[in-house]
Structure 1
Amino acid sequence: MQKVEEDHKRLLERYAESQRILDKYSVLPDKGSDYMTILQRITKENTSGARRPKQPLVLKRISDSVTEAYLPFKDNLALRENYINYYGDIRLGKVLEDLDRLAGAVAYKHASDNNGDLAPITFVTAAVDRIDLKATLSPNCNYRLTGTVTYVGFSSMEIYIQLQAVPGAGEPTDPEPNLVASFTMVGRDKYTGKASQVNPLLLEDESQRRLVKAAEQIKEHKKAAAEKNLLKRPPSTEERLVIHQLWLETNKYQDNIYGSHTSLPSDMVWLDKTGMDSVTVCFPSERNVQNKIFGGYLMRLAHELSFANGSVFTQSRPSYVSLDDFSFKKPVNIGSILRLTSQVVYSEPENKTFQVAVSADVIDNMKNTTERTNTFYFNFCCPSSKVRRIIPRTYEDMMKYLEGRRRAQTGKIISKLQSAMQK
């Protein structure tokens, strides 16, 4: 009994210490400070001549930036209350926020000098490469998140994060993580906003070289996928055959010159009938240190909408599998009207899986314009319910279907490369 109490106390101490580290290298502002005061301070910093000089670059080891955070759901009931959902499970959207926050802390820690002092540089989440949930998270467990730099460019760095259960007294340690994630962070000069060089990375052994190699391969796969973007290039020969087959399938159920109208079978659904939207006003409480809306918060909103859509689509409770790669193309300003639009764009009924795309658009009510910031792609499975086949009926919907199909294929490759990082 005494050992259990000691373990409990030790874990809560580690949790408190990890919170101090996250606060020191934080992507979020001090919420105890007044928002208007912060705006005035930033304006003064950007217009005054007093600027901190750039620090000389420091060769950093991978171990220098390793950062841990804890989610002690079992031992901290107040924390668990904030993370639990209606079903008694963990709200994954909240965990996505924690992942983004930890990735930022790792980036700032890597960019600091040998004394741990921060450089005049700010980091933004440029992209999320992949987030895989490998095992369900339980509210009756404690978890540790560990973030590591795996690749460094001129101003960018790749951050790899693992979430793993912390065993209790007498419990065996599970070597497999419950969740793995990869983020791309980009550094900007605090005063000019231009790309700012970050500390180079020192590789000390073969295992670290393998880690960096896997990160480079993920980067190459993303680059290759970007070059084949459907907005830049037409579908491949194989994809054109897929489109033609879909067109033939569509004509069976549409009243047009090519075929007679027949009701859609119960195991199929039109892609354009799977939409679900939400609108949010972005308040200062969800800002980051750049006084833009925190990317982790946007991921949470998108995840919760995708889950709601998936629940309606399957008429049951789907399980989150992964979040495919995406880029934050534009920041979302405080006060923006944010519209999230979701659709089920791809499904594999034989595997009981489907994909929900969530597009984020900022509405400017004064200019009457809409600007897209990014699109999230969430993958779900539903073992206990039938997953219907998605049928696109327009060319635009067919492109959405192909994009979902591509991401499902590329995601499996990136997932394997992430698994290699665990070894």
Structure 2
Amino acid sequence: MDSSSPASNTISVKGTIPVASTFGSPSINFPSPPANDSSCDGKTISLWPGRYHSPVTTALWEAKSKLLVRQLGPPKDAPLQSTLLTKTPSQSRTCILYDFSSDFVLREQYRDPWNEVRIGKLLEDLDFLAGTISVKHCSDDDSTTRPLLLVTASVDKIVLKKPISVDFDLKIVGSVIWVGRSSIVVQLVVSQSKKEGSDDSDSIALTANFIFVARDSKTGKAAPVNRLSPETELEKLLFEQSEATHNLKKRKRGGEWKDLENGNLNRLKSLLAEGRVFCDMPALADRDSILLRDTRLENSLICQPQQRNIHGRIFGGFLMHRAFELAFSTAYAFAGLVPCFLEVDHVDFLKPVDVGDFLRFKSCVLYTELHNLDQPLINVEVVAHVTRPELQSSEISNTFHFTFTVRPEAKAMKNGLQLRKIVPATEEEARLILERMDADSDSLQ
């Protein structure tokens, strides 16, 4: 079959991968676990690592079960795959279909209180799908070699272009759009059409780029990945854009961009002056402002085995899901009205999270943008800390930045809505606010 045909754009199955509701414990005919895999202990695949409870992860596990048998049980003395192949984006392209219009149980699993898709759950699915696509691209289809270890390095800005309803079918299409020596960029496009025959560009609801890096599973060192040969004009354009973005990031890391600290000094002093009034003379403080520390929320959890991926680490999508839920709650408590999600800014996965880790999520509102009264913006930061009480240590695993606005229908219920301005109590908080404001400003240019 021609590799460019639609039937080849999936993993180990023909056509689009359907997502079915997962009510209870569905029976899926997966292959038996490898006999030499001590982590499986001969149990059914429902107990394998990564069998997380999302309908999408269930569908993808079924679709790539043969590939995962190799990933989970390679011979210990097997050589690392050394032959680099050249693949096209169409060979990794994967489509997921959520049949919301006819599957009531699936619809209920993804419904939020406002009859829209739960964004946190969708972020989780996007991470798993991106990982599946990267594994497909990097595979050499040779059962005698040891596969690469693929790690989510970062997530570029995720932008919600329009609300996603649970009353209409939803589709996610993803493929590899760029590769470096050991890094891979996977682009995902979420689309939903509410009218038959509507233009494809009008149906796009969300876009996201996930960046993975390949490592030797034994040494942990960077490992080369299969090359990419874009075919269509769009694929070539996406490759060129990703190449430019990659080079820009390298120049930033290399110190080409200078810190304009002095230019921000007056802004920093102005913010701190406002904060000092709150700290030293609270009775005279501006009632339309609030200290950053007074917007904080926090929650914590112990990472469980059910949340791990095939490499034994905690899913990046699970972390994004939990961070989003806390950010949403923070924006809700701050605004006093139901928030509406707009975007996730760039996320770096600084430190892997393991099963058994004590994970603490700390959130705050960093700043508000009030120039457009019809769409005021609320920027929420969530920092994930891996805490080890027995070692008296706490390290940052991830920092997330979410942007929300207020739902129009909620805003109409509260006449004269006025979001408060955020002011810092310390120089560190002032720097965080300015850095975030400048980063968001740069992304819009």
State the TM-score, normalized to the length of structure 1: 0.81
Bigger CA drift: 117-126 or 304-313?
117-126
Q: CA deviation at 1:83?
A: 1.2
Three-state SS of the structure 2 residue aligned to 1:194 is coil
Of the three residues 427, 437, 445, the one matched with 1:395 is 427
Q: CA contact under 8 A between 2:160 and 2:342: conserved in structure 1? A: yes
Assess if the C-alpha contact under 8 Å between 1:165 and 1:178 holds in 2.
yes
In the alignment, residue 439 of structure 2 is paired with which amino acid?
R
Letter in 1 for 2:231: E
| Deviation per residue, 1:15-52 (Å, 9 max, x gap) | 43899xxx99xxxx9851356xxxxx99x979x75315
Give, in whole Å, the separation in 2 of the partners of 1:49 and 1:251.
Answer: 61
- Paired amino acid for 1:16: P
**Higher alpha-carbon deviation: 241-250 or 175-184:** 241-250
1:128 Cα offset (Å) = 0.5
Match of 1:175 in 2: 201
Shift in Å at residue 314 of structure 1?
0.3
- 1:380 and 1:190 mapped to 2: Cα distance? 39
Q: How does 1:347-386 map to 2 (within 5 A)?
A: 347-351=368-372, 352-382=376-406, 384=411, 385-386=417-418
1:62-81 superposed matches below 5 A: 62-81=89-108
Instruction: Give, in whole Å, the separation in 1 of the partners of 2:82 and 2:20.
Output: 26
Map Cα deviations across residues 152-195 of structure 1 (whole Å, 9 max, x no partner).
11110111110011566x45344231000011011112333221
Change (3 A) 1:228 1:250: farther
Equivalence for 2:269: 244
Q: Which runs of 5+ in 2 are unaligned?
A: 1-13, 22-29, 32-39, 50-68, 412-416
After the TM superposition, which residues 255-266 of structure 1 pair with which residues of structure 2 at under 5 Å, given as runs? 255=280, 262-266=283-287
- Show the counterpart of 1:345: 366
Q: Using the alignment, how far apart are the partners of 1:277 and 1:31 within structure 2?
A: 35
d(CA) in 1 for partners of 2:255, 2:334 = 30
**1-side partners of 2:206 and 2:435: how far apart?**
25
Equivalent residue, structure 2, for 1:32: 46
Change (3 A) 1:409 1:45: same
1:124-156 per-residue CA deviation (whole Å, 9 max, x = no partner) reads: 111011100000000101111111212111110
Alignment of 1:22-421 (within 5 A): 32-33=46-47, 49-113=76-140, 120-166=147-193, 170-176=196-202, 177-223=204-250, 235-255=260-280, 262-351=283-372, 352-382=376-406, 384=411, 385-413=417-445
Pair 254,335 (structure 1): closer, same or farther in 2 beyond 3 Å: closer
Contiguous gaps of at least 5 residues in structure 1: 1-11, 36-40, 414-423
Q: 1:191 to 1:228 in 2, by over 3 A?
A: closer
**What amino acid is the match of 2:312?**
N
Q: 1:246 to 1:17 in 2, by over 3 A?
A: closer
Question: Whole-Å Cα distance in 1 between the matches of residues 107 and 224 of structure 2?
Answer: 39
Residue by residue over 1:50-87, the C-alpha shift from the partner in whole angstroms, topping out at 9 and shown as x without a partner, is: 31541411111222211111222222222222111233
Matches of 1:34 and 1:108, distance apart in 2: 17
Distance in 2 (CA, whole Å) between partners of 1:226 and 1:93 is 31
Paired letter, 2:201:
P
Checking the alignment, whether the CA contact within 8 Å between 2:16 and 2:95 is kept in structure 1 is no
Counterpart residue identity of residue 334, structure 2: F
Q: Secondary structure in 2 aligned to 1:184?
A: strand
Identity of aligned residues (%): 30
Q: Answer whether contact 1:58 1:114 (CA < 8 A) is retained.
A: no
Contact 2:187 2:210 in 1 (8 A): yes
Q: Which amino acid aligns with 2:394?
A: T
Give, in whole Å, the separation in 2 of the partners of 1:119 and 1:18.
32
Q: How far has the Cα of 1:408 moved from its partner?
A: 1.3
- Distance in 1, matches of 2:194 and 2:329, equals 33
Cα contact 1:330–1:373 (8 A) shared by 2: yes
1:256-290 deviations in Å (ceiling 9; x for gaps): xxxx5543333211111110000111111110011
Pick which of 139-148 and 400-409 moved more: 400-409
Q: Please give the root-mean-square deviation of Cα atoms over the aligned residues, in Å.
A: 3.2
Alpha-carbon spacing, 1:247–1:49, altered in 2? closer, same or farther (3 Å): closer
Shift of 1:206: 4.1
* Corresponding pairs, count: 381
In 1, the alpha carbon distance for the partners of 2:176 and 2:317 equals 19
TM-score (norm 2): 0.77
Q: Which moved more, 1:107-116 or 1:191-200?
A: 107-116
Task: Report the 3-state secondary structure (helix = DSSP H, G, I; strand = E; otherwise coil) of the residue aligned with 2:201.
Answer: coil
Q: CA deviation at 1:327?
A: 0.8
Quickly say closer, same or farther: Cα 1:116–1:307, change in 2 above 3 A.
Answer: farther
- Measured after TM superposition, the shift of residue 212 of structure 1 is 1.4
Determine the C-alpha separation between the residues in 1 that align with 2:392 and 2:275. Answer: 36
Q: Structure 2: which amino acid aligns with 1:246? A: L
Shift of 1:360: 0.4
